Amino acid sequence: MAKIRVAIVGVGNCASSLVQGVAYYREINDNTVGLMHWDLGGYDATDMEVTAAWDIDERKVGTDLSEAIFAKPNCTAVFAQVPQSGIVVRMGAVLDGMADHMESMPADRSFRVAKGGQPDKADIVATLKKAGVDVLVNFLPVGSEDAVKFYMECALEAGVGVVNCMPVFIASNPEWEQRFKAKGLPIVGDDIKAQFGATIVHRALTNLMRQRGVRLDRTYQLNTGGNTDFLNMMDRTRLASKKISKTEAVQAVLAERLADENIHVGPSDYVPWLNDNKLCFLRLEGALFGAVPMNIEVRLSVEDSPNSAGVVIDAIRCCKLALDRKEGGALIGPSAFFCKHPPTQFTDDEAQRMVESFIHPAPGLAGTVKCLIVAAGQGTRLRDVAPSKPLADIKGVALIERVIETAHAAGVREFVVVTGYEALRVEAFLEALASRRGIDITCVRNPDWAKANGLSVAAAEAHLGEQFVLLMADHLFDPTILSDLLARGGDPKGAVLAVDRRLKSPLIDPADVTRVETDALGAIRSIGKGIAGHNGLDTGIFLASKALIAAIRADLKDGGEGGISDGMRRLASAGHAHAFEIGDRFWLDIDDAVAHGEAERVTA
Ligand SMILES: NC(=O)c1ccc[n+]([C@@H]2O[C@H](COP(=O)([O-])OP(=O)(O)OC[C@H]3O[C@@H](n4cnc5c(N)ncnc54)[C@H](O)[C@@H]3O)[C@@H](O)[C@H]2O)c1
């Protein structure tokens, strides 16, 4: 398989660790240590080479990459021999890459700008093209707003994907993201989470407290280090976006946001002798059973730059996979798993599953079938929380946006949403979402929204192919349920329904859930709210064919209500309704304030 051609902007400590890492794994050919994936979608950890690099430091510009990565002020661990690469580090455009205070610091610890001319956009674009670059990796210092935007313009013009390792917001800025989408170029960002760093440990502990019912009252994360990243951040005016990025990464996994005065997360001090060793001090204070106080303190010591490279090496490969698949825009799952400030936050568990779904798209129907989402109902039981159920806010993201992102992560690319109650408002939201995220969404209005939900399915018939995914706008779920369902394939004369066998799940409202009875081979015998002798629950996730619509219409003709379950019952009696086992995977029907609270608790 072709190598991934990478361009590096900023040959600092993180770049050093990345280049060393590729050499290390080439040399020892050992896939047992330090990697989340040896093979990622057909690319192994050594399948990349740097074909262009830019820096501004006089000790790096003009030297071979294999020497520049060890030149001062780089100070990270040396763990691999790197052979001559033949790639000479080029002079970059300085812009705001060099903080003023850097000049007054000792040369061995700080940047020194190389003399001579600087390239313009045309020079960089020409080099990116000549070097056949697939992915540009941005390792510029925190606060380099202008420089980052300059290099992003170059990437867009040269037609290369981007991994944005630092906190100038590009992937998570809708306007920039849209520009990558429009050019069909993928971007993973923003601000890489380290492999086992302060952010992921802080998130894991915060999540653990949430899962165990412990209320988090106050927390801090103090980070100290002695590399140029920490030195650069001594200029607090450069820090604004880093602070947002790091703080939001923790706030996102909390059940309730902490007031600003109760959370402090940040780069805290520069201690030169620590070099690239980062020391992080974490404290979480909370309340246990009976509001009895507890606290935990953690001291984490990590070499900062290899810790980032262990994640960047996967982000680059995901970016290349998206290029291969001609998929542009922000990669939602990979960005959420690999970065602190992605376009949409998910818990680390959710994000990891999204990454696996992205790497292993379901064969068969993923990317080929449309997804019909029923969003027409009134949602009266959620009225106190939101006037329109699909737009109910769950941690800052509308419920229907979460459903669409989840299905997108599972490999669905085209959406048809049936609206009804509050149609104008829902349609306006979806139009804005489609343009913000570059997702293909068609709205279909169901004038009979107050009647049975099968009429919404029938209303969309003209927009659907022979088979389609059918989802409910108020059901959250693990994306692997859908990707596995797509991999399983459907019944061209019927429908397959994802079924949960955990009949006593605390997440279920027994009075409202639709019940399913199957035979031992998974054929559905009966389905409905009131049926007795059930052995499964309807999750609202279907892979259907137009036979379901025909069955709904037949039910109406015979005087039935025309609900989805009515259609499924008819398919069942013809032997064409099947159950798909979801195992212990997550799904949640958000019908009332209790379920909404649960959704807020389990999502990021
Ligand atoms: N180490 C981690 O775990 C980690 C995690 C998340 C994010 N990051 C971010 O990644 C970025 C890189 O970190 P690092 O430790 O390698 O920093 P670094 O200071 O070692 O490297 C930055 C490099 O950029 C060069 N540079 C400055 N201005 C430039 C310009 N205009 N054009 C080209 N090159 C320029 C510098 O000379 C230097 O070589 C930082 O923004 C950091 O905050 C690091």
Over the stretch 168-198, which tens digit does the pLDDT of each residue have?
A: 999 999 899 989 989 999 999 999 999 999 9
Q: Please check the confidence at residue 429 and state whether its pLDDT lies above 90.
A: yes
Of the candidate CATH numbers 3.30.360.10, 3.90.1150.10, 3.10.20.740, 3.40.50.970, the domain formed by 198-303 belongs to 3.30.360.10
d(CA 384, CA 592): 9
pLDDT at residue 362, rounded to an integer = 64
Mutate to test the pocket of ligand 1, among 9, 13, 14 (most ligand atoms within 8 A of CB): 14
Could you write out the three-class secondary structure of 493-535?
Answer: CCEEEEEECCCCCCCCCCCCCCEEEECCCCEEEEEECCCCCCC
Show me where the domains of the chain are located: 4-192+307-357, 198-303, 362-602
Give the mean pLDDT of 263-282.
95
Q: Please check the confidence at residue 534 and state whether its pLDDT lies above 80.
A: yes
Structure tokens at 262: 């109760």
**Who has greater pLDDT, 521 or 158?**
158
Beta carbons of 535 and 478 less than 8 angstroms apart: no
Cα(312) to centroid(ligand 1), Å: 13
Q: Please check the confidence at residue 2 and state whether its pLDDT lies above 60.
A: no
Mutate to test the pocket of ligand 1, among 94, 163, 229 (most ligand atoms within 8 A of CB): 229
d(CA 547, CA 555): 12
Cα(124) to centroid(ligand 1), Å: 19
pLDDT at residue 186, rounded to an integer = 97
User: Topology of domain 362-602, per CATH?
Assistant: Spore Coat Polysaccharide Biosynthesis Protein SpsA; Chain A (3.90.550)
Beta carbons of 334 and 41 less than 8 angstroms apart: no
Q: Which atom of ligand 1 is nearest to the CA of 307?
A: 3
- Where does ligand 1 bind, in terms of residues with CB under 6 Å? 9-15, 54-57, 92-95, 97-98, 111, 139-142, 144, 147, 165-166, 191-192, 194, 197, 227-229, 232, 304-305, 307-308
pLDDT at residue 239, rounded to an integer = 85
Supply the pTM of this predicted model.
0.76
Cα(154) to centroid(ligand 1), Å: 18
Over the stretch 337-383, which tens digit does the pLDDT of each residue have?
A: 999 999 888 888 888 888 988 888 766 666 679 999 999 998 777 77
Mutate to test the pocket of ligand 1, among 70, 98, 110, 140 (most ligand atoms within 8 A of CB): 140
Over the stretch 188-224, which tens digit does the pLDDT of each residue have?
A: 999 999 999 999 999 999 989 988 999 999 999 999 9
User: Kind and range of the H or E element at 430?
Assistant: helix 423-437
Signed CA dihedral, 418, 424, 425, 429: sign only: positive
pLDDT band at 236, cuts 50/70/90? confident
Q: What percent of the chain has pLDDT over 70?
A: 99
Give the mean pLDDT of 115-127.
96
The amino acid sitting at 528 is G
Q: How would you class 557 by CB atoms within 10 Å of its CB: exposed for 0-12, middle for 13-18, buried for 19 or more?
A: exposed
Cα(102) to centroid(ligand 1), Å: 13
Give the mean pLDDT of 377-405.
88
Q: What residues pair up with 64 in beta bridges, in sequence order?
A: 88
pLDDT at residue 214, rounded to an integer = 94
The strand pair at 440-445 and 414-419 is best described as: parallel
Cα(11) to centroid(ligand 1), Å: 7
Q: Please check the confidence at residue 96 and state whether its pLDDT lies above 80.
A: yes
The amino acid sitting at 463 is H
3-state secondary structure of 310: helix
User: Ligand 1, atom 27: nearest CA belongs to which residue?
Assistant: 97
pLDDT at residue 367, rounded to an integer = 65
User: Ligand 1, atom 40: nearest CA belongs to which residue?
Assistant: 141
Q: Which atom of ligand 1 is nearest to the CA of 95?
A: 31
Over the stretch 57-69, which tens digit does the pLDDT of each residue have?
A: 999 999 999 999 9
Over the stretch 431-448, which tens digit does the pLDDT of each residue have?
A: 999 988 888 999 999 999
pLDDT at residue 365, rounded to an integer = 65
Cα(237) to centroid(ligand 1), Å: 17
User: Kind and range of the H or E element at 218?
Assistant: strand 215-225
Return left, alpha or beta for 427; rule: phi > 0 is left, psi -120 to 50 is alpha, else beta.
Answer: alpha
Beta carbons of 458 and 475 less than 8 angstroms apart: no
3-state secondary structure of 145: helix
Distances (CA, A) of 350 to 212, 481, 499: 18, 12, 20
Mutate to test the pocket of ligand 1, among 139, 245, 265 (most ligand atoms within 8 A of CB): 139
Over the stretch 241-251, which tens digit does the pLDDT of each residue have?
A: 888 888 988 98
**Who has greater pLDDT, 310 or 251?**
310
pLDDT at residue 125, rounded to an integer = 98
Return left, alpha or beta for 37; rule: phi > 0 is left, psi -120 to 50 is alpha, else beta.
Answer: beta
User: Ligand 1, atom 31: nearest CA belongs to which residue?
Assistant: 94
Q: Which atom of ligand 1 is nearest to the CA of 140?
A: 24
pLDDT at residue 220, rounded to an integer = 97
Q: Please check the confidence at residue 548 and state whether its pLDDT lies above 90.
A: yes
Structure tokens at 288: 């246990």
3-state secondary structure of 394: strand
pLDDT at residue 542, rounded to an integer = 98
Cα(140) to centroid(ligand 1), Å: 4
pLDDT at residue 363, rounded to an integer = 61
CATH number of the 4-192+307-357 domain: 3.40.50.720
Mutate to test the pocket of ligand 1, among 154, 199, 308, 335 (most ligand atoms within 8 A of CB): 308
